[in-house]
Amino acid sequence: MAECFFVSDLHGNLERFQKLFDSIMRTPPRALFIGGDILPFGFGATTHPAMDHDNSVIDYLAREFGNLRRALSSRYPRVFIILGNDDPRLFEEDLRAGAEGGLWEYVHNSRADLGEFSVYGYSFIPPSPFLLKDWERYDVSRFVDPGCVSPEEGYRSTPGGGKKERYRTIERDLQELAQDDDLARAILLFHSPPYQTKLDRTALDGKMIDHVPLDLHTGSIAIQKFIEKRQPLLTLHGHIHESTRLTGSWRDKIGRTHMFNAAHDGPELALVRFDPDDLDNACRELL
């Protein structure tokens, strides 16, 4: 299969998006995967006049992807996209509108086909210290780590939450998403990384809450167990920006499953290039 691109956690940075668009124009991939946190940090934050919430980030992306589609014609890639925990869910309808227009495929909690491969998307992360709870779920139980805020608390940009959140877990969602599907040729686009891997290491060394040391790994136990049990071909992750710097690796494996991280805590765009038929030779570029 032809080369694919993977990016995540661009957080409304116009320079990163422009580098992505330039890379696509130079060498159009077969598919582009965008792993969430595409909007600026914070509900009203902005890093560029073209990328603030008032001017509609999604309008900017729709315009630029539309320009790419016109320029590339038949070489325009399949674009699979999800939102992340910093992306207010109120923009989900805008993403769905872009999907209806053929600019991208919004794959949260759904499946798509990519030739002989299947693609699944999932946005939710375990409980975090952050207050926007649109994309948070309990992980495998109602336990919340010290310093984190329950998904039932915080605030949401759209109606939801409440009693329903007490009974939903990432573990249950993944069971319902994958059903009994054969995942041997599956690519799963997550926002959260799996727990206790090279992809979920945070910079919490020496920090404590009420004399309790904070866990240095903040990924999802449910995603970790799902990968261990179901062994998909490839999983794509973001969310923890500093993990690659701290562990020295942007990739890891659980059994036969390859796992890649495209989050980055520097100013550059982290672009992961991979061929699903040759994952050992995947590479990550800082542009």
pLDDT bracket for residue 54 (50, 70, 90)? very low
How far is the C-alpha of 223 from the C-alpha of 221, rounded, in Å?
5
* Cβ contact 79:103 at 8 Å: yes
CATH of domain 4-286: 3.60.21.10
The pLDDT of residue 46: 39
Instruction: Report the 10 Å Cβ neighbour count for 28.
Output: 19
The pLDDT of residue 4: 98
Pairing type for strands 251-254 and 257-261 reads: antiparallel
pLDDT bracket for residue 257 (50, 70, 90)? very high
pLDDT at 270 over 50: yes
CA proximity to 125, closest of 154, 100, 105, 104: 154
Q: Measured on CA atoms in the order 183, 187, 193, 198, is the torsion positive or negative?
A: positive
Tell me the domain boundaries of the chain. 4-286
Q: Which residues pair with 261 in a beta bridge?
A: 237
The pLDDT of residue 162: 63
- What does the CA dihedral 142, 173, 129, 15 come to, rounded to 10 degrees? 170
| CA 203 vs CA 15, 193, 200: distances in Å | 26, 15, 10
| 99-151 pLDDT tens trace | 999 999 999 999 999 999 999 999 999 999 999 999 999 999 988 998 899 99
The pLDDT of residue 161: 64
Is the whole-model pTM more than 0.85? Answer: yes
How far is the C-alpha of 194 from the C-alpha of 220, rounded, in Å?
5
Tracing tokens 């409980």 back to the chain, one arrives at 127
On average, the pLDDT of the chain sits at 92
How far is the C-alpha of 97 from the C-alpha of 94, rounded, in Å?
5
